[in-house]
Chains A and B, each alone.
Chain A
Amino acid sequence: MPILEYLSYGFIQRAIITGAFISVLCSTLGVLLVLRRLSLIGDGLAHVTFGSVALGLLFGVYPIYISLPVVMASSLGILKLMERARIFGDAAIGILSAIGIAGGVMIASLAGGFNVDLFSYLFGNILSISIQEVYTSIVLSLIVLTVIVFNYHDIFSITFDEEFAKAGGVNTQKLNTMIVLFTAITVVLTMKVVGIMLTSALLIFPAVTAFQIARSFKNALLMAGAVALASVVIGIFLSLFFNLPTGASIVIVNAAFFGVAFIFKHTLRSGHD
């Protein structure tokens, strides 16, 4: 089936539009998180999402309505654990992640009967996205990206050197809170694109791919966005052409971009040497 014919289908249009917004959102936050050595916060929050989806299914509430507040609260919990309990970010993420998974498994076991539904959230299905989910994704993505653009210099400052930023009067606590809350929203939105298991890939891959080539912070953000966008579009069509799972296809394309960038960088470097 030719690409144009695929594009005439509403479900494919919805998948591409939603995927585009969410992928750019993921890549932008991914750059900030990877540089601050908080790459695995996406993974941790995704595990909390698993628990909250199980909770939603248990009470018969649309899971995203439960997941958004629970995951946002958990993201603040990670931040507080890092600040107050004097533990490193990876340990704080590990604590919340374990609670999320254990809670989810326990709820699923106690309730029974919704294992198939839970499985669909674990691996996502971007092709089944509803029009409401498209609008939710667009609105939330635009809000988050607009806030990031308008606070670009402050965010760059705390990402590079938080102590200097604070000394210069940047409200670092507010920005840190904002970034983890945005990450929580993004993780919940991404659940439908690639599923809970692969959410962190959309945050990490575009960023680390961009870091292989980008020389400036601005270019890193732009390149990460371009890689994320291309991965989603190529991944969707790859899955349609070869009848593959869409979420996994998107992640594999992301991994391929990273491999190419890695080889390009090292070939270029050895050429210079």
Chain B
Amino acid sequence: MPVKLVNIENLSYRYNSIDVLSDISCDIVAGEYIGLVGPNGSGKSTLIKLMLGLLVPTSGSVKLFGHPPAAMKYRERIGYLPQKMNFFNPYFPSTVKEIVSLGLVSKKKFPKRIGDSDEATIDRTLEMLNIADIKDKAIGDLSGGQQQRVFIARALVNDPELLLLDEPTTALDPETRENFFEILRRLNRDKKVTVVLVTHDTGTIGKYASKLLYIDKEIVFFGDFDEFCMSGDMTKFFGPSSQHLICHRHGMNILTVKQRPNND
């Protein structure tokens, strides 16, 4: 039986009397790789924050590993990359090693200490992301792409079961982005890490994710890419060009298997 890591039921969230999310219901099952997409202001980051318990829903419920987020004790099972890291204080006096070590804090018992085995874990994670050589550098001295990889390392260092990544590839150059997506693919395939990846890059996400969750304050589509590509409703919603773009990168050329609508 598939294990539900996240269970969302009739979730709504209002802020300043504005509906940010309405009646969202979906499950995220262990081993899935979900691309969470939608336009600006569609509620993608809000949904991630609700899953983590950083925001309290107006109505409905979220369960994380079977528990309400606030009661979820084993936070080390989750790796999180917030979107706002693009706006962090670049003058903060901190080395790469110190920042990545913050990812290990959640599994530590009081008094929390970083030991030799933790140092080895940090080194392995930095090597995986090809940033081992900047371990002792100050975060403010790095390029935007390097900084982003440091924050990705912080999310991965704990060997999490569930990765919630809010626009992780911002500021990455194409080569680094491909490398990062390859790491995610390996984690998902080999270690069965469940990935929820928020992105604006609808043209690329089909190449990596197994499922698509498209929201625009409510769920527009949630399901497999193949299902999305064959859906007439989605053709109407996105227009055939956009749907084709997503599905083409997924490896399915829908224009050859579907009859093109008359309005194309």
Point out residues on A near B: beta carbons under 8 Å: 35, 150-154, 156-157, 160-161, 163-170, 210-211, 214-220
Contacts and interface: CB of A to CB of B under 8 A. Distances in A.
Contact of B93 (A151, A161, A210): A210
Nearest to A159: B92
B106 A169 contact: yes
B98 A164 contact: no
A167 B78 contact: yes
Given A167-B80, A169-B72, 18 more contacts: A152-B112, A153-B102, A153-B113, A153-B114, A156-B98, A165-B102, A167-B54, A167-B78, A168-B102, A169-B73, A169-B75, A169-B106, A170-B106, A216-B94, A217-B92, A217-B94, A217-B95, A219-B93
A156 B102 contact: yes
A170 B99 CA distance: 15
B111 interface: yes
B99 A154 contact: no
Contacts of B91: 211
B77 to A, nearest CB: 10
B238 interface: no
B93 A220 contact: yes
Nearest to A37: B89
A216 B98 contact: yes
Contact of B89 (A35, A154, A166, A167): A35
What are the 9 A-B residue pairs with the smallest beta carbon separation, nearest first? A169-B75, A168-B106, A220-B93, A215-B138, A153-B112, A167-B80, A214-B93, A216-B95, A167-B52
Contacts of A164: 80, 82, 102, 154
B102 A161 contact: yes
B105 interface: yes
Contacts of B110: 150
B178 to A, nearest CB: 26
Interface string B57-78: 0000000000000001101101
B112 A168 contact: no
B117 to A, nearest CB: 16
A215 B93 contact: yes
Interface of B: 49, 52-54, 72-73, 75-76, 78, 80, 82, 84-85, 88-89, 91-95, 98-99, 101-103, 105-106, 108, 110-114, 136-138, 154
A93 B20 CA distance: 31
A64 to B, nearest CB: 31
A70 B103 CA distance: 38
A195 B89 CA distance: 32
Contact of A217 (B78, B82, B98, B105): B98
Nearest to B141: A215
Contacts of B94: 160, 216-217
Contacts of A152: 112
8 contacts: A153-B114, A163-B84, A164-B80, A165-B102, A167-B52, A167-B78, A168-B103, A217-B92
Contacts of A168: 75-76, 78, 80, 102-103, 105-106
Given A167-B52, A216-B138, A217-B98, A160 B106 contact: no
Contacts of B105: 153-154, 157, 165, 168, 170
A149 to B, nearest CB: 8
Contacts of B89: 35
A34 to B, nearest CB: 10
A39 to B, nearest CB: 13
Nearest to A163: B82
Choose among B110, B112, B114 the residue with the greatest number of A CB atoms under 10 Å from its CB: B112
B204 to A, nearest CB: 25
A217 B95 CA distance: 8
B237 to A, nearest CB: 32
A216 B93 contact: yes
B93 A217 contact: yes
